[in-house]
Chains A and B, each alone.
Chain A
């Protein structure tokens, strides 16, 4: 078998394929064969480069040269100039390809073996801890963290350094450091991926936290639904103890710190820090009023510092690379990066980490490779059931904590669900309310009863019984729930309702006034009927109908009785002549 001298990687992502990258690859192969270079150069189609606005992208290895906007007719030039003469094709050259993603929290994920501590150490693991313990006072370390501008990645965006400082200042012989790994948003898996891919980064940051806040005990609160993350954390804790990164007299500095695990049963509300603490205490996972804040009175009534997994994963890098380095990434008020779980109707579903300040357009149409099946983008939900939807007009807004709130959504923990023209926004709001109703702990009335009523109103609208005044009812009730609920769950649960009404009022109106679901999702509002020109009278639909709603003689046009039809869609599936349509 021949050893190729070079490979031409042709982007085969959806967006480049639309720009005829397949033809380009074929043309390149033909040119190579024609020039008798079959054994020298190989053409391979790849997955998406995430550079969709530069398509079609071609990368030449081993030289690592990029060509952009390459058209099928450019194949000849590339082969003759680059391969034969060894000269770059200047007019197509794309220098310094701008990779949109920066991996800080995910720096080791997919690179190291999470069950081998040596691989973590090889990538400078535990050096930040060593540096902080040996060379810095807790006050200096906290000041550095405050200066870095790191904000909590769990959702609220509270400055991490200030939280540490609050805990440090409370006098107590016993304090606790907690890692909140109760990730519960539908569609979010950032924290699980970090724990499964790089557990030591979280352990290291917790030990730094302990030193800074004056605590010797760390607890990781993780849902039992994450068995692999639990397994890898246990292995990591065991290895860290063996190496002396946890336990007594860490790195000969006299500081002692150890970590234990606490398991949750997977309740969404336990991501709220007071509820989380009660769950760890063996009580019902219900929130309590703040103040007292956990930094003053938390686990077992002792000062407790709770941070999220992703926040922790950033911390060792901030200490090893320094504040100046970190502050270069992100925007003025939101420093660093954010991990998002990109899901829904997007081509490249995946786990991404982007610098704050990037636009939604870059995330969805470049990193995400655009909307599946070439459909039209409709909205993106950030912040899961606590967030809101953003639309076309928000695509160029830089993503940071404050801008997302101003746009009516929130950063949340990092779920990002992309929706296209086939999604009904009333149904989306109902989906999230379904979740909130299920997950409400029931302690306070506005959340327990209010969300249930919101859900009923949405149900009424999607089943075709909505009245004009229902929209005002939804808005008023939403505002009451937001203003009067005890914890973050209730205070944010109406957001999906409010933001879909704000951005997609026309869809609500269509459901209520015209009894129609424009996206064709809400079954109760759809009517199945038979197109006379297409019906051949084969009786297949009538035989498929479970309720006998279809009548008609053999070889004659059939008819669906709307009063009997249950809109199951069996007739549409069975018809071979496209005679059954739904509107």
Chain B
């Protein structure tokens, strides 16, 4: 990646990145990929999120599910760690709490494969800056 040379350069770059991401969210033909984000701050890792992330990465591949597993920072739901956000193309993101390997297996089999929700959903209880005019 070369250097970003001006504010305009930066804006173009952002637009490109955004359209790529929105394509993913709409579930366009090119990238029908399930997005999985695992909260991986120090405290999450201490509660076992690394094991959860490894399990999800390995098992989704083994079970031939087209998914992208990435790490993210603190989601804020410390009481329910490890926490995982799953976005199925065309649907709103859902956050699951207390995701150990057993729960991760349930999420793959029931939610990702069948669209059936499993217990342990953490409702998002905040507004992000985009929601405030």
Contacts and interface: CB of A to CB of B under 8 A. Distances in A.
A252 B125 contact: no
Contacts of A50: 123, 125
Interface string B19-30: 001000000000
B119 A45 contact: yes
Contacts of A47: 77, 80, 97, 120-123
B121 A46 contact: yes
A245 B18 CA distance: 19
Contacts of A44: 117-119, 121
Interface in A104-142: 104, 106-116, 118-119, 121-122, 124-127, 130-131, 133-135
A103 B126 contact: yes
Given A107-B128, A113-B72, A127-B14, A1 B5 contact: no
Given A62-B91, A243-B1, A103 B128 contact: yes
Contact of A351 (B78, B91, B114): B78
The residue in B41, B92, B128 that gathers the most chain A C-beta atoms within 10 A of its C-beta is: B41
A12 B75 CA distance: 19
Given A44-B119, A251-B5, 5 more contacts: A1-B113, A9-B123, A44-B117, A46-B120, A100-B125
A350 B74 CA distance: 10
A252 B8 CA distance: 11
A112 B83 CA distance: 14
A533 to B, nearest CB: 41
Nearest to A343: B78
Interface stretch (A191-199, A377-385, A392-400, A453-461): A191-199
B117 A109 contact: no
7 contacts: A4-B115, A11-B123, A59-B123, A61-B92, A112-B72, A121-B10, A197-B74
B116 A114 contact: no
Contacts of B13: 121
Given A9-B123, A59-B123, A62-B91, A351 B76 contact: yes
A353 interface: yes
A99 to B, nearest CB: 5
A121 B45 contact: no
B87 to A, nearest CB: 11
A228 B79 CA distance: 21
Nearest to B94: A61
A248 to B, nearest CB: 10
A101 interface: yes
A103 B14 contact: no
A365 interface: no
A197 B7 contact: no
Contact of A349 (B45, B79, B126): B79
A486 interface: no
B71 A115 contact: yes
Contacts of A425: none
B54 interface: no
Contact of B7 (A62, A101, A251): A251
A127 B7 contact: yes
Contacts of B116: 1-2, 4, 42
B43 interface: yes
B64 interface: no
A320 B127 CA distance: 18
Given A44-B119, A134-B7, A251-B4, A101 B79 contact: no
A192 B46 CA distance: 14
Contact of B73 (A108, A118, A127): A108
A198 B76 CA distance: 13
Given A102-B127, A103-B128, A107-B128, A242 B11 contact: no
A1 B114 contact: yes
Interface in A146-202: 189, 192-193, 196-198
A351 B74 contact: yes
A475 interface: no
B28 to A, nearest CB: 17
Interface in B89-133: 91-92, 97, 110, 113-129, 132-133
A350 B47 CA distance: 13
The 7 closest A-B pairs by CB, nearest first: A197-B73, A244-B3, A110-B75, A101-B126, A50-B125, A1-B114, A130-B7
B42 A196 contact: yes
The residue in B10, B11, B70, B92 that gathers the most chain A C-beta atoms within 10 A of its C-beta is: B10
Contacts of B41: 192-193, 196-197, 228
Nearest to A47: B122
A350 B17 contact: no
B36 to A, nearest CB: 12
A110 B72 contact: yes
B42 A226 contact: yes
A545 interface: no
Contacts of B45: 228
A62 B123 contact: no
A125 B120 CA distance: 32
A122 B24 CA distance: 13
A378 B74 CA distance: 29
B121 A325 contact: no
Contacts of A100: 125-126
Contacts of B71: 113-115
